[in-house]
Structure 1
């Protein structure tokens, strides 16, 4: 088993084969974040009431490799290894931010000196 380099990963994501597969997976999952969907289903099963943003299924705009692409290149285009996620859930899966993303408020007026 060969581990992919960063250059090989970048090349893979630029291929039309990946772009086509990515679109297929998003369509398969109805462009809905599967982690958001799972969170709602689990809360419903346990009788937990969710609040705010946690009650919604966000739009999926990213496709995640369940088994990391670099380590398992042979699973790069296998449907069972791909899942549609929103940006927030994708970042959480990769440990990029343990906290929720907070939109910054725009200033009412910009200071121009």
Structure 2
């Protein structure tokens, strides 16, 4: 009985590190998960950028409409909206970076 305990103790004591095969399996599983997750992150990033762009078009259109209603000016520019505090400088710059155009009182991308 004592011999069995010493043998089991030695067997348990010998296994202190991971084997090369175990490490390879773990790395393989991690790489598979990365292959599944990374493309999804890129799609989500693109979707978020498109949503932001659509929201910015809506904001600019709303501010152009407010400006037109209050000033009866049918030719609105970003400079007008910023100078009369309908848009901040940051909003106007971002809208221009996104390619949002104001023609008259219509906003388009």
Q: Same fold (TM over 0.5)?
A: no
Query: Rg bigger for which structure?
Result: 2
TM-score of the pair, normalised by structure 2: 0.24
TM-score of the pair, normalised by structure 1: 0.24
Greater RCO structure (CA 8 Å; 6+ sep):
1
Which one has a larger percent helix, Structure 1 or Structure 2? 2
